[in-house]
């Protein structure tokens, strides 16, 4: 990698860190100003940003971009601006009985200079969401955009440079080597969104600086249909979650567990749903392309390998020209539905359908695999729902729905184990990018001097009383 580029990265980082040290606790007014600048930057350039995102994919629906990228993006910026005043307030904590009338509190303090690594699948939302939380918390931020979405990266970098001072927010473009240099910088906090494999490398790089990390990864998020649940509704919501962005979503359903014997009914319903969603899949602009040729070929190999191992393959749309990089949704059934090539996160419009005999078996099936980023449960038996929730572990859950838990600002978003660590969104994002400073305030009436040496009779009597109570 060009040494000049590494030095330029360091210079940009040092500018952020110096500014953070010069102004370590921006006022609520200043934080709101930065969030307003961010919203204005986005709102004034929506058409150009949507065009760049679509060009990076080859084709992505403007309507879909508005619904699943622009709407939550603006919503999180506005929410942070509205709530940051209350988030900034010191939080009272109880003081131990023997230390009264002293008081204790937590004061949220900006960390300083934070790093954000955004993925390609939602290149704007996954940059702006963490940025809004970081700015609300009073930080300066540097963002590494994905090299797989170069047009979006270049446009966002230009817009940020036009609207923010370089020591407020800085956007970095470039490939793998730039990314490696980026995550090796001594940030005060680093948030990475991407694959589990790359997340391991990011954590290694951050460890050399003792940089705390939030890792938003992925994994195989299951959807489970309970016995007796209306199949039509479950399939519609599952296929919605799977088809948006052509399955290129970290919390897309990755496989479905259905009561044994209902696999064919699931297939028939999925065919009806896809025909209703995309009556002209080959010609519509509502269905996204796969991001690049490498990922397109990877998904084709997954299908071919599963078929070779004996899985039944059901295509839910037409075969489309390879140059379009459009891949119709595919269902995989049979014992090879989760073949060797499908043991990792699919990240595309391929959905294995697996039958289960009973609830015990379904829970065991989920728990035998790495803990997922999301779990989707379709069940109207409240007692059974509570059992599912107690006996499975996932980063987040939507009951009788898919995807929607990520849009709730009062719910944290994050994984567990191989699907990630740490969390953000709303108040939790503010806390992630803040240091919760513990403050103990002594009272004038303090009696701690009674415990000073020399340790005579008075001390012995007091310590005996303290130890007894």
Q: Which residues are catalytic?
A: 216, 250
Bridge pairing between strands 189-193 and 169-172: unpaired
Count of residues in the chain: 469
User: CA-to-CA distance for 373 and 393, rounded, in angstroms?
Assistant: 9
Q: Omega into 179 within 30° of 0, i.e. cis?
A: no
Contact between 142 and 78 (Cβ < 8 Å): no
Sign of the alpha-carbon dihedral angle for 162, 165, 167, 168: negative
Contact between 295 and 347 (Cβ < 8 Å): yes
Q: Tell me, what DSSP letter sits at residue 281?
A: T
Cα 132 to the center of its chain, rounded Å: 14
Q: Tell me, what DSSP letter sits at residue 99?
A: G
CA-based nearest residue to 153, from 181, 198, 194, 123 = 123
DSSP for 45-81? Answer: THHHHHHHHHHHHS---HHHHIIIIIHHHHHHHHHHH
CA-based nearest residue to 290, from 279, 280, 302, 308 = 302
Measured at the CA of 19, the angle between CA 13 and CA 25, to 5 degrees, comes to 125
Q: Dihedral of the CA atoms 199, 200, 204, 206 (nearest 10)?
A: 20
User: CA-to-CA distance for 251 and 220, rounded, in angstroms?
Assistant: 8
User: CA-to-CA distance for 220 and 252, rounded, in angstroms?
Assistant: 9
> Phi, psi at residue 89, to the nearest 5°?
-65, 140
């Amino acid at each position: 990698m060009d040494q000049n580029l590494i030095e330029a990265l360091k210079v940009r980082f040092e500018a952020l860190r110096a500014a953070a040290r010069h102004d370590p606790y921006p006022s609520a007014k200043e934080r709101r100003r930065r969030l307003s600048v961010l919203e204005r930057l986005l709102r004034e350039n929506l058409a150009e940003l949507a065009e760049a995102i679509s060009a990076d994919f080859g084709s992505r629906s403007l309507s879909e971009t508005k619904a699943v990228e622009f709407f939550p993006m603006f919503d999180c910026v506005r929410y942070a601006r509205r709530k940051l005043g209350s988030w900034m307030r010191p939080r009272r904590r109880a003081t131990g009985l023997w230390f009264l009338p002293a008081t204790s509190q937590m004061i949220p303090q900006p960390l300083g200079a934070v790093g954000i690594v955004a993925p390609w699948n939602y290149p704007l939302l996954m940059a702006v969401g963490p940025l809004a939380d970081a700015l609300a918390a009073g930080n300066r931020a540097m963002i590494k955009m994905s090299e797989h979405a170069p047009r979006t990266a270049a446009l966002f970098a230009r817009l940020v440079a036009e609207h923010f001072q370089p020591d407020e927010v800085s956007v970095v473009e470039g490939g793998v080597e730039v990314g490696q240099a980026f995550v090796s910088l001594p940030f005060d906090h680093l948030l990475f969104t991407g694959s589990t494999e790359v997340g391991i490398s990011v954590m290694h790089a951050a460890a050399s600086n003792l940089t705390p990390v939030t890792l938003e990864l992925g994994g195989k998020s299951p959807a489970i249909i309970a016995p007796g649940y209306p199949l039509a509704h479950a399939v519609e919501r599952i296929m919605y979650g799977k088809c948006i962005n052509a399955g290129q979503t970290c919390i897309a359903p990755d496989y479905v567990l259905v009561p044994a014997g209902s696999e064919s009914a699931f297939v028939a319903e999925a065919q009806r749903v896809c025909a209703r969603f995309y009556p002209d899949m080959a010609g519509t602009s509502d269905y996204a392309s796969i991001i690049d040729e490498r990922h397109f070929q990877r998904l084709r190999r997954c299908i071919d390998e599963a078929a070779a191992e004996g899985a039944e393959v059901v295509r839910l749309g037409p075969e489309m020209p390879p140059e379009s990089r459009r891949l119709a949704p595919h269902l995989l059934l049979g014992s090879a539905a989760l073949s060797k090539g499908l043991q990792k996160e699919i990240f595309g419009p391929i959905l294995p359908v697996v039958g289960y005999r009973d609830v015990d078996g379904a829970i065991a099936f989920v728990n035998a695999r790495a803990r997922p980023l999301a779990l989707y449960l379709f069940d109207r038996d409240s007692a059974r729902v509570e059992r599912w929730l107690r006996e499975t572990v996932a980063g987040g859950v939507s009951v009788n729905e898919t995807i929607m838990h990520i849009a709730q600002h009062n719910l944290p978003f994050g994984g567990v184990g191989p699907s990630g660590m740490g969390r953000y969104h709303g108040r939790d994002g503010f806390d992630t990018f803040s240091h919760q400073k513990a403050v103990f305030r002594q009272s004038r009436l303090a009696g701690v001097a009674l415990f000073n040496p020399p340790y005579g009779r008075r001390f012995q009597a007091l310590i005996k009383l303290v130890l007894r109570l």
